[in-house]
Amino acid sequence: MMSRGIASGMVAVADRERLHHLLAGRTVWLASSSPRRRAILRAYGVPFREVGHTLCEPPPAGPDWRRWVRSWSLRKARNAARPLTDNWVIGSDTIVVCRGRGLGKPAHAAEAAAMLARLSGHVHQVFSGVAIVDGRSGAQATGSAVTSVHFRTLKRQEIGAYIRTGEPLDKAGAYAIQGRARAFVSQIDGPLDNVVGLPVQTLIKIMERVSR
């Protein structure tokens, strides 16, 4: 779960005002079950409803990672938007890429351990895609953001202790930067909310495109 401090620390007043101006009082539907994305929207004071999608996402495949996350974000938004009207539908997708390999959510503890061992002592990139579908007009747009994250070298015991917390098992790359894994990070280059799972400035930019 995202702490209140981290969530509020990511909120820029100008972005909050611009976001609410673009929403214009309309309902937001979030095509995601991610508690991190919900926490970011709440931090910006955005009223929303969570709606499911029925897609089964395959393992991430490169080499065009930006295209991958944009494509799947749009598929999720369009899938959830089908029965809805007069709302904004947001879809998002996040992957971690380390040394040319895309890392999704681990299926079990052993896979989580392998992912964390791969990230240990290396710089990796986090790609998040965002898609908007305007349920009123049918207009749609996508965007993406990337952040480089530097992991210090992790001891085997650290990885094991972290996995036992259960935190890595529903996270892309097997870690939550807003949780205990922040102790593994030595440097971040790019937006923090992108690593959490929803880059708000990217969301604002694509909403502006749809609103024109």
Residue where the block lists tokens 């990139």: 125
Residue tagged active-site, from 15, 86, 93, 193:
93
> In angstroms, rounded to a whole number, what is the distance separating the alpha carbons of residues 136 and 66?
27
Query: What is residue 170's three-state secondary structure?
Result: helix
If we measure between CA atoms, which residue out of 111, 133, 154, 115 comes closest to residue 27?
133
Residue where the block lists tokens 């970011």: 40
Catalytic, 93? Answer yes
- 64, burial (CB in 10 Å: exposed 0-12, middle 13-18, buried 19+): exposed
Query: What residues are labeled active site?
Result: 93
